[in-house]
Amino acid sequence: MVEHDPASDRVDTHFLLLLAAHLRTTIGETADLVRREAEPYGIDVDLVPTEARGLSPHLRVIEALCTAWGRKWKTEVTRRDIVAYAHECGVALDTAVSELRAYETLGAPALSAFAARSGDATAAQALDVTVRANLEQLLQFEPLTRGNVSPLTLTITAVRMDLGLLETYRALACYAALGLTMDCPMPPNPAPDDAHTPDWRDVVILTAHLTGSEPALAGEVTEEHIRLAAEETDLDTVEVRRRLAHYAPLFSLRVPTTPKEANRTAEEDEAAAEAETQAEKEST
């Protein structure tokens, strides 16, 4: 039920929004109706900007722009709000941004962090349907709700989507309209012989405290980190080094390697891994 505060001598645009949604009519028609009813009692009704008079708000608009039960305007519209609105209304994300931004002139929170609608189909719409659906689900949760895509965020998202780093980067870059900032370099095309797909162990290895959470590993990687990462992930130290080397350009890591290790053949790598595994078993 939409009720006006009897202690107030003014009807504001927020009330007009709620009443228009309740009456299923436009903001302009609602303002005219309320003004006719309020005039004899000396109650002022806020003027509705011309560009907003044709807006026809509905429940999803209220949910996106107002606090619980529509009590007042939100102080901020989040990516989660926009994604939820787009899903509930069956519209593209750029359309959702455009439709919600139209209420700013009425006092709704500004969507300044989000790009304006281009008028063309967005890059996100061109993504594989499954990739788009999965990614838009993840956009509602940490770490993507922070708005910046760091190397660690990229890796976590790649693991959750079961995609490679480059494919994940390209998919995330399609959502610049939602204010996503790519704070990491684009991963290079993987080499033909590099079939590595990110997994949960990479996320552990690439975090400073081996927790899978910030802060990310950075700079010089110590031998102790490699040893502890191997214990934490049940990988041998050779495999941990290989994975760290794989991510080194993205995370700007300096991974310690000996000259022998740098020039080993695949067979020598395998023999070294077996030797390290055997040594670790004997030491326990």
pLDDT in tens, 141-198: 889 988 899 999 999 999 999 999 999 999 999 887 777 889 999 988 765 556 678 9
Q: Domain check: are 214 and 272 in the same one? A: yes
Provide mean pLDDT across the span 188-211: 85
- Is 114 part of a structural domain of the chain? no
Q: Domain check: are 216 and 245 in the same one? A: yes
Give the number of other Cβ atoms within 10 Å of residue 202's Cβ: 23
Q: What is the mean pLDDT of the chain?
A: 85
Say whether the peptide bond before residue 143 is cis (omega within 30 degrees of 0). Answer: yes
- Is 236 part of a structural domain of the chain? yes
- Is 85 part of a structural domain of the chain? no
Q: Domain check: are 223 and 249 in the same one? A: yes
- The per-residue pLDDT for range 242-277, each reduced to its tens digit, is 999 999 999 999 999 754 444 455 566 566 667 666
- Is 194 part of a structural domain of the chain? no
Window from 73-82, 228-237, 254-263 with minimum mean pLDDT: 254-263
- Is 98 part of a structural domain of the chain? no
Query: What is the DSSP secondary-structure string of 210-250?
Result: SSSSSSBP-EEPPHHHHHHHHHHHT--HHHHHHHHHHHHHH
Percent of the chain with pLDDT over 90: 57
Percent of the chain with pLDDT over 70: 82
d(CA 108, CA 61): 10
Q: Domain check: are 238 and 174 in the same one? A: no
- Is 263 part of a structural domain of the chain? yes
Confidence of residue 218 (pLDDT cuts 50, 70, 90): very high
How many CA atoms within 13 Å lie on the side-chain side of 124? 23
Confidence of residue 1 (pLDDT cuts 50, 70, 90): very low
How many CA atoms within 13 Å lie on the side-chain side of 216? 21
Window from 81-90, 109-118, 228-237 with minimum mean pLDDT: 109-118
- Residue type, position 230, single letter: A
Q: Domain check: are 217 and 165 in the same one? A: no
- Is 274 part of a structural domain of the chain? yes
Q: What is the pLDDT of residue 122?
A: 58
Beta-strand runs (E) in 38-145:
44-45
- Is 141 part of a structural domain of the chain? yes
Beta-strand runs (E) in the chain:
10-11, 44-45, 148-149, 181-182, 219-220, 253-254
Number of domains in the chain: 3
10 and 46 Cβ atoms separated by less than 8 Å = yes
What is the span of the domain harbouring residue 154? 124-182
Q: Domain check: are 135 and 178 in the same one? A: yes
Q: Domain check: are 278 and 210 in the same one? A: yes
- Residue type, position 254, single letter: R
Q: Domain check: are 216 and 260 in the same one? A: yes
- The per-residue pLDDT for range 5-43, each reduced to its tens digit, is 555 678 999 999 999 999 999 999 999 999 999 989 889
Q: Domain check: are 206 and 177 in the same one? A: no
d(CA 192, CA 242): 16
Q: Domain check: are 271 and 205 in the same one? A: yes
Q: What is the pTM of this model?
A: 0.68
d(CA 65, CA 72): 9
- Residue type, position 103, single letter: Y
Closest CA to 106 of 176, 14, 34: 14
Q: Domain check: are 150 and 222 in the same one? A: no
